[in-house]
Structure 1
Amino acid sequence: MNRKKKINETLKKRMKKANAKLNKSTKPRYISKAERATLDEEAALVAETTDVTSDAIVDSEIESAR
């Protein structure tokens, strides 16, 4: 009985590992602290440029309406 149990356990372990490899994790990818800092800087630059361009667009629309 012990031999059968041991064989079944090893087979179950192998099946579990194979299934784990097939099912990809939904956990998000790790982003390092330095990478997060650069992403924040880029986002800040993009936000600044969009503010400046949106202000310029609004100003030009106001002038064209006059």
Structure 2
Amino acid sequence: MNRRKKIKQLLEAHAKKANAKLAPKSNKPKYISKADRAKLEAEAAQELVTPAE
């Protein structure tokens, strides 16, 4: 690989990363671990039980 090609490749890679950061985020929901999901579910169940008393 010659020097010019190597430099061009690096600059293109940096530009691609910069554009990716500026791009709008997808509507994909943020990942929630299984333990966190269980904790949230337990809290929701507890809230349902507490107001009934």
Separation (CA, whole Å) in 2 of partners of 1:42 and 1:24:
33
- Correspondence list, 1:1-66, <5 A: 4-23=4-23, 25-26=25-26, 27-50=28-51, 52=52
Residue identity matched to 2:13: K
Aligned pairs, number: 51
What is the distance in 2 between the residues matched to 1:7 and 1:14? 11
**TM-score (norm. length: structure 2):** 0.59
Q: Structure 1: which 5+ residue stretches go unaligned?
A: 54-66
Superposition deviation, residue 34 in structure 1: 1.1
Residue by residue over 1:10-61, the C-alpha shift from the partner in whole angstroms, topping out at 9 and shown as x without a partner, is: 32211111111223533322211111111000111112234x26xxxxxxxx
> Percent identity among equivalent residues?
53
Structure 2 alignment gaps of length 5 or more: none
Q: Whose helix proportion is higher, 1 or 2?
A: 1
Q: What RMSD over aligned residues (CA atoms) do the two structures have, in Å?
A: 2.6
Give the alignment's TM-score, normalised by structure 1: 0.51
